[in-house]
Amino acid sequence: MHRITRPASMRQGFPNPVRRDLLKLGGLAALAHTGLAGCLGGGADAPVALTYGETIADARAAILKAMADTQTPSVSVALVDRERTLWSEAFGLIDKASGIPATNDTLFCIGSCSKVIAAVAVMILVDRGRVGLDEPLVRYVPAFRMASPEYTRITVRMLLSHASGFPGTDWRVVFLSGPHPGLVAQQTLATLAVSRLKHAPGEMATYCNDGFTMVEPLVREVTGLAYTEFVAAEILAPLGMRLSRFALGAFADGSYAPGYAGDVKQPQEYNDTYASGGLFTTPSEMGRLARMLLNRGLLDGRRVLAAESVAEMGRGQSAGQSLLPVDRCDDFGLGWDSVREDALALAGVRAWQKNGGTLTYSTDFFVAPDEGLAVTITGTSGSYGSRALAERILLHALRESGRIAAIPAPQAPVTAPMAAVSGGQLAGAEGFYAARVGLQRVRAEPDGSLSVEKYAGEQWQQPPLAGLRLRADGSFASDASPDSAFRVALLDGRRSLIRYRRHGMGLMLYPEYAGQSLPPRAALSPAWTTRLGRRWLTVNAFPDSYLLAIGGPVLSLAALPELPGYLFLSAISNNVMDQALDASASDDIASMCLKIPSDAGRDLTDLVAELRFGEDWLRSGSAWFRPLETVPALGSTVTIGADGYAEWRRLARPGVLAVAGASAWKLYRPDLTPEPLYDGGAGAVSAPAGAYVLAFGAPGAGITFTLSA
């Protein structure tokens, strides 16, 4: 197994590079020259070709600054129009030790931008009459089942527009450091079979990876081909995307951009969620996809999609939903995050936008269909600001070409407070608001202002955001931080906290759900109360899971006396952090209880308690956890059971530990901090008393432990 090293925060960049790396970045930009002979039209009477020299110079400077500010090792970008690539360039290094630079042929994982490819795959089948967007999924995938009977109403369209009602993402099988062909789709089907819907099909749209994962069995059932085979044959080959591929095996060194933690090169990411996040490609090749979309399904005279299908992908899909996002009634397209990207909309330009992020990569893909321009930018960190750079490049190109007169100025927040605020207005905002991660408490203060506290890591974070006063637009904001604005809206009979923030270039204050109120519930039963303060350990995580490596093996439960009936679940190996669950109605099921559109309500899970092997085990999604306190002392041998669950043992004394017969094993400190003392498949390591060993193997495998002085 590869050793995985990660920064303390997955989204806060990398340690500072040494000075020579920054010099190489600057030198690379100065030496890189690409074809700039793009023009706005074709034919003998075409205008003089626009080289977009001002746009490119500005973008180069902005990219290099963003890379230096965030210590991003490599970035690649392409700007295209309907006819050609206007500009493509790569920046930075893909091997710091040897100084190998990124090139236009360097592969990057585009993460969730792969969803656009999945939508194209489905629309090809729609064009051929083999799939109907508004037909139920179960018609095409008979094995599809869920615990909620309404699952039969989930349509293919709902998969592509995030409206299925699936809990979200089966994180146990996401972000693995090795290839597992077909695993994610197979396991997701099994997980959905025991899962409830979190909202009625089509009722609202909440970002959902598993909806796109289900495109994989859909394609296989309809065509007889694996999803990766279908995409290669029907999309990548016709579009001439010769380098683009899924990580079905190890890539050759130098062909792709790896992640770095400081100067430590990280293992290749595999992202076996092929339809929802697994494509490796280049911005230049994404430019060919963009050109097909800009030409309404045609590329170089070859039709890939019907013009009507391209238009349908770019149409807002939320019009028929009963629970619409605040002020955002037509965001999701088919595969697109947004069909009216905000910064471009301020300039009067329609743009389709998709973001993709993994543990290593961040990508943005913008297509402006009416203007005939598109941009893709990707890089090896999540902090360099791919969206802001994509917005900047397109806006500058539109200004340089004369399509817009000027780049829009940032919208100013409403700063003047209302002369008076009623007690009812304050009381109407007070309360606890939960989202997919964490909790916020809104308090009314004696001076007529509001304060907002955040609960994270089982404690209230200090200091709170204070001095929020009612503004003329109905929001509450402070004079010190006018961009930190909140208001309360009613959704489905429950209060929702709306937060305003800037993203991308920061041109507008964007409203988004920050949480939903938690209504009063009956007190926790003794069964749940006895589970508080205890810890559980994963037994079916994959040994090559990035999330296990980053977050550790522990599941924990917390409760707040101010919120009777609720639990707060954290299990980072399953990507769950301080998720609110309603445990008031059952001794054995703590239910996902939020119904929030867009991102704040994504990736929820029920928590199920079950008696297994005479012990109180917990299941979150497809992840099972056993109680820590019943882990046996280390013996000489253990046999992996028929279920394949990994085995835990505790060391009563210190010594040098060797393990034989395991496919992989990890040694954890007595306090079970996330970073293991050992992570591998062979070898021996010095182990302290009280340490824990986690051994993996196939069902029936015999594992031998040797602890020598």
Residue 407 lies in a domain: no
Measured from the Cβ of residue 425, the count of other Cβ atoms closer than 10 Å reads: 17
Looking at the structure, tell me whether residues 598 and 651 fall in a common domain.
no
pLDDT at 496 over 70: yes
Any idea which residue has 């269909």 for tokens? Answer: 369
Residue 275 pLDDT > 70: yes
Indicate whether 248 belongs to any domain.
Answer: yes
502/645 same-domain check? no
195-251 residue pLDDT tens: 999 999 999 999 999 999 999 999 999 999 999 999 999 999 999 999 999 999 999
My answer on whether 490 and 612 are in the same domain is no
- Answer with the one of 465, 499, 517 that is the final residue of a domain: 517
What's the predicted TM-score (pTM) here? 0.91
Collapsed DSSP state (helix, strand, coil) of residue 647: strand
pLDDT digits (tens, 9 = 90+) for 440-478: 999 999 999 999 999 988 889 889 999 999 998 889 999
Q: Angle at the Cα of 675 (from 625 to 685), degrees rounded to 5?
A: 100
Residue 196 has a CB neighbour count (10 Å cut-off) of 19
Q: Edge to edge, what strands does the sheet with 245-246 contain?
A: 108-109, 279-281, 245-246
* pLDDT tens digits along 59-101: 999 999 999 999 999 999 999 999 999 999 999 999 999 999 9
Chain centre to alpha carbon of residue 3: 23
Domain of residue 447 covers: 423-517
Q: Is residue 470 part of a domain?
A: yes
Peptide bond into 463 cis (omega under 30): yes
Q: Within 10 A of 295 (CB to CB), how many other CB atoms are there?
A: 20
DSSP 8-class letter at 545? B
Work out how many domains the chain is built from and give that number.
Answer: 4
Q: What is the CATH number of the domain that holds 555?
A: 2.40.128
Question: Which of 600, 628, 656 represents a domain boundary (last residue)?
Answer: 628
Residue 398 within a domain: no
Q: What is the mean pLDDT of residues 507-533?
A: 94
Domain-located, residue 307: yes
Other C-beta atoms lying within 10 Å of the C-beta of residue 675 = 13
Give the pLDDT of residue 415: 86
**pLDDT, mean over the chain:** 91
Query: How far is Cα of residue 681 from the mean position of the Cα atoms in its chain?
Result: 30
> In the predicted model, what is the mean pLDDT of residues 354-374?
97
Same domain, 555 and 477: no
Give mean pLDDT, residues 107-127.
98
17 has pLDDT over 60: no
Question: Are 618 and 647 within one domain?
Answer: no
Q: Of 498, 517, 536, which residue constitutes the final position of a domain?
A: 517
Q: Which residue has the higher pLDDT, 479 or 649?
A: 649
Taking CA atoms, 436 is separated from 22, 367, 395, 575, in Å, by 38, 30, 33, 10
Say if residue 452 is in the same domain as residue 576: no
> How confident is the model over 554-594, as pLDDT tens digits?
999 999 999 999 999 999 999 999 999 999 999 999 999 99
Residues 592, 486 share a domain: no
> Average pLDDT of 537-555?
95
Torsions phi, psi for 507 (to 5 deg): -80, -20
Query: 603-618 burial string, b = 16+ CB within 10 Å, else e?
Result: bbbbbbbeeeeeebbb
| Number of neighbours of residue 489 by Cβ within 10 angstroms | 14
Average of per-residue pLDDT across 622-647: 97
